């Protein structure tokens, strides 16, 4: 009677900073992120990031893939594709393996293309006990 519902999570938004929200700090996430409000700080994400048309990120961004439809003031590093839509504006340097800028989109900074970007997302350092250290 009930069918198992499987939702595709490839492009799903797992974390949302909604319109009207203002957040400051360091954001580290393993899921996809969408910013429709304002974020100021650093962002490291193993998923994809979307900056919506009303979104503003005053931060350096490291992510798997990034779509900018709003405004980013800071550098972007992605191992995948960086897409700047017709309403998107990036004021900073970018490193990506693929770069798409739609007509009307703005990139005010330097761009560097790498086949496989070599960025590393910080991982917590495992503490070593004295007995393991030798």
1-43, pLDDT tens digit by residue? 344 433 334 567 688 899 999 999 999 999 999 999 999 999 9
The range of the structural domain enclosing residue 66 comes to 15-114
pTM beyond 0.85: no
Stretch 64-77: mean pLDDT: 97
- Kindly state whether residue 3 falls inside one of the protein's structural domains: no
Domain count for the chain: 1
Strand ranges, E, within the chain:
15-17, 22-29, 33-35, 38-51, 56-68, 71-73, 76-78, 81-84, 89-91, 94-96, 98-101, 106-108, 111-113
- Kindly state whether residue 103 falls inside one of the protein's structural domains: yes
Lowest pLDDT segment from 30-44, 60-74, 103-117: 103-117
């Amino acid at each position: 009677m009930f069918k198992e519902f499987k939702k595709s999570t490839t492009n799903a938004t797992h974390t949302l900073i909604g319109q009207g929200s203002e957040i400051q700090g360091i954001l580290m996430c393993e899921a996809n992120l969408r910013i429709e409000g304002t974020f100021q700080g650093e962002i490291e994400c193993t998923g994809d990031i979307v900056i919506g048309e009303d979104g503003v990120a005053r931060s350096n961004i490291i992510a798997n893939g990034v779509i900018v439809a709003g405004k980013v003031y800071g550098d972007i590093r992605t191992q995948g594709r960086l897409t700047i839509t017709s309403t998107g504006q990036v004021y900073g340097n970018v490193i990506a393996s693929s770069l798409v800028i739609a007509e009307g989109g703005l990139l005010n900074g330097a761009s560097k293309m790498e086949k496989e970007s070599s960025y590393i997302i910080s991982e917590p350092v495992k503490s070593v006990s004295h007995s393991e250290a030798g």
